[in-house]
Amino acid sequence: MAAPRKSSARSPTRRRAAQKKQRPIDDLLAVMARLRDPQTGCPWDVKQDFATIAPYTIEEAYEVADAIARRDLVALRDELGDLLLQVVFHARMAEEQGRFDFEDVARGIADKMVRRHPHVFGNAVVRDAATQRVAWESHKAAERAAQSVRAGGIRAPSALDGVALALPALLRAAKLQRRAARVGFDWKTPAPILAKIEEELAELRAEMKSKGRGRRARLADELGDLLFSVVNLARRLELDPEAALRGANAKFERRFRRVEALLRAAGKSAEGASLAEMEALWQRTKLEERAKKRK
């Protein structure tokens, strides 16, 4: 009697297990575990810790923003992968210390999204996006207060709690100002902000004429006040100061490269040209761009 043939179909349990193993995120987690293996891993990866990886995490986030600004979805896919790798890297190091793992990270953010969207996952009612924004900030404030209690309440709660020190200075200035604005510390129109900018500029001019010990620190202080006020104006105009400066950087680069091209066409270089020559070509470049915009 022939032995019964084994069914080629897998049991539901085995099929689910196989599908789980095939998930790309599992592949990535396995790759990171292998890279971090003390015996057989990559020496560079094994050597890293949270502090050494943090700058790469920030850099990858900026590269994601750059791909979005360029509307390059192919690059965006790749950059999001690079950013995900940073999350996996940090989670793996924490897992090695027995603190948490990638599953804890994913579960934590999923739970947080459910908690902060009771109008989607619960019975709360939200009329519009503005109301949702208020509710969102209320949830975040409650979470920050709970975190302060868990940490022992070292400092009294503040409207400024939770604004990360590691943020780029322009972005952090805008976030600090938005937090202060929520409790009423804010100008309602651009006019007084413009007056403040003029005041700060006058103070900077005065400090530039000063001499003596500590001049450099005083100049930095006045320049910081001026920049902070400019960020406040951007916020009141509902503009992202970081994006505005990125745009200015791109514009400067585009125009300066054009100046260099014009100099090369004339058989010259930027190093050999005078400031007056380059300024004349700069103005020509601006006129060319305006003419293109009018077409």
Name the pLDDT band for 4 (thresholds 50, 70, 90). very low
Q: Tokens for 132? A: 């949702």
- Among 257, 264, 266, 265, smallest CA distance to 285 is for 257
Question: Is the CB of residue 163 less than 8 Å from the CB of residue 179?
Answer: yes
Question: Is the CB of residue 38 less than 8 Å from the CB of residue 46?
Answer: yes
Structural domains for the chain: 20-114 (1.10.287.1080), 117-147 (no CATH), 169-239 (1.10.287.1080), 243-294 (no CATH)
The burial class, CB within 10 Å (0-12 / 13-18 / 19+), for 79 is buried
- pLDDT tens-place string over residues 62-95: 899 889 988 999 999 999 999 999 999 999 999 9
- pLDDT tens-place string over residues 9-33: 556 566 565 555 679 999 999 999 9
- pLDDT tens-place string over residues 228-284: 999 999 999 999 998 899 899 999 999 999 999 999 999 999 999 999 999 999 999
